[in-house]
Amino acid sequence: MGIAKNYLNENELKILNNLVSGYFDFAEIQAMRHHPMYMSDFVDHLDKVLASTGEALLTDAGKISHRQAMEKANQEYQKFQVQNLSPVEEAYLQTIKAIGKTAKTNAGK
């Protein structure tokens, strides 16, 4: 497993969608005006937008290495997997239940 996913609640997702939409609108307006923008300009503008909406800005790369993050993700995924049956396991259990019902029906005859 190597794909990271962030799980946001409905409100957080709406906020993120609105921020992204507004940011894309800004970028489109700059392009329509033929205003040259460099990546550093976009970074600066994004920081201003996030700060003005009360979002926390990341100031460094953090303290968790990629390896540590992957290990944590794998541990959490294993916990999740234990709680959920695979499609094969689900089909196996359904087959066992069906056989059990058939056996009970035949035993009653």
Q: What is the pLDDT of residues 43-97, one digit of tens each?
A: 999 999 999 999 888 888 888 888 998 899 889 888 888 788 888 988 998 999 9
pLDDT of residue 109: 67
Contact residues for 77 (Cβ-Cβ < 8 A; gap 6+): 1
Report the distance separating Cα 81 and Cα 43, nearest Å.
Answer: 38
pLDDT of residue 1: 55
Report the distance separating Cα 89 and Cα 47, nearest Å.
Answer: 48
To 10 degrees, the CA torsion angle through 5, 10, 14, 19? -40
CB 16 within 8 A of CB 8: yes
Query: Does residue 39 carry a pLDDT above 90?
Result: yes
Average pLDDT over residues 7-11: 82
> Could you tell me the two tokens for 108?
């009653």
